[in-house]
A = this chain, B = another copy of it.
Amino acid sequence: MAVRIGIFGYGNLGRGVEAAVKASSDLTLEAVFTRRDPSTVKIATDVKVYKDTDLVDFEGKLDVLVLCGGSATDLPVQTPALASRFNLVDSFDTHARIPEQFKKVDAAAKSGSRVAVISAGWDPGLFSVARAYSESVLPQGKSYTFWGRGVSQGHSDAIRRIKGVLDARQYTIPRDEALDEVRTGKCPDLSVRQMHARECFVVAEEGADLKRIETEIKSMPNYFADYDTTVHFISQAELKRDHAGLPHGGFVLRSGKTGLESENNELIEFRLKLDSNPQFTGCVLAACARACARFAKEGRTGCLTMLDIPPAYLSPLDRESLIAHLL
């Protein structure tokens, strides 16, 4: 029997989970919940949309609830509040606050004998998994994470707050020279400037002082001052035409030594190149929902992350097929 999925929050990520569930024959979408007026929300598949407050009627009717809200204000409240009543998966990605979120969700899930998988996605998520494998296998070494080429929402927002800016899109770009140097096995110490560059596409108000806007962007502390930043002024039409997508990705590398004299260089590299960050993240959440349902069936309770999930649990294949086809 297919795993019954509920989607809580229907933005870009919710649509990603919807498409991913549709692509998996062992998962079925049961309901979508929104805080908007459900009659105004048009979804892509033939499934009913409910008001978020209707979720109370769905206890026992969903195998896994996938939370698709944001990490800033939604998930810190929603995940702990719902974890005692639903098996659930979220994509909480505020790295510094994950330990605190984990504790709250763990207590809630255990109190209701439910399973929660938090911080699923690609970073945290698949990138965390890549770091765990590579550091476990190569304890002597150095790890590197590069992001991009991809759109950073936070940096784009920071540009939009500048006076005279109508809209903006910021790309984080990993530097090829730095990647290649890591791949040599030299274990270089790299500054933030050496690892990433930033490219900004900015729509300015008519008559705005472009020179001042560019200077304000490039000198912005934390966001841009420590990086080589390029600024392009373009029209709103160009922004819409050329920069509507949400591509992303990145690299996790571990450069390590083996041998009694540390005489060998070994490199482990994991890379993602994504046309659509939210669609791909939705796919990871769907696979984690499958694992969550399996843990729940086994009677596991409490909070987990992707580091606690055996790879086989993410797969729709049974053990014999996995051994025959993937091992």
Interface residues of A (CB under 8 A from B): 16, 18-20, 22-24, 44-45, 95, 98-99, 102, 119, 124, 126, 128-133, 135-140, 183, 185, 249, 258-260, 263-276, 279-280, 282-284, 287, 290, 305-312, 314-316, 320, 322-324, 326-327
- The verdict on A326 contacting B284 (CB below 8 Å), with A270-B270, A310-B307 known, is no
Alpha-carbon separation in the docked complex, A306 to B319 (Å): 12
Quote the shortest CB–CB distance from A114 to chain B (angstroms): 19
Pairwise interchain contact B265-A275, C-beta atoms closer than 8 A: yes
CB neighbours of A307 from chain B (8 A): 310-312, 322-323, 326-327
CB neighbours of A130 from chain B (8 A): 270
- The verdict on A273 contacting B183 (CB below 8 Å), with A126-B133, A137-B283 known, is yes
Pairwise interchain contact B136-A311, C-beta atoms closer than 8 A: yes
Alpha-carbon separation in the docked complex, A3 to B122 (Å): 32
A307 to chain B: closest residue by CB: B312
CB neighbours of A44 from chain B (8 A): 260
Pairwise interchain contact B327-A305, C-beta atoms closer than 8 A: yes
- Given contacts A136-B290, A139-B316, A305-B327, 7 further A-B pairs with CB under 8 A are A99-B320, A132-B322, A135-B326, A185-B275, A258-B280, A264-B275, A307-B311
- The verdict on A269 contacting B270 (CB below 8 Å), with A258-B276, A314-B137, A323-B99 known, is yes
* Copies of this chain held together in the complex: 2
Alpha-carbon separation in the docked complex, A133 to B280 (Å): 13
Quote the shortest CB–CB distance from A314 to chain B (angstroms): 4
CB neighbours of A264 from chain B (8 A): 274-276, 279-280
Pairwise interchain contact A323-B137, C-beta atoms closer than 8 A: no
A269 to chain B: closest residue by CB: B271
What are 9 contact pairs spanning A and B, CB under 8 A? A19-B259, A19-B260, A99-B320, A99-B324, A126-B133, A132-B326, A137-B284, A266-B273, A267-B273
Pairs of residues from A and B, 6 with the lowest C-beta to C-beta distance, nearest first: A264-B275, A136-B314, A258-B279, A132-B311, A267-B273, A269-B271
Pairwise interchain contact B323-A305, C-beta atoms closer than 8 A: yes
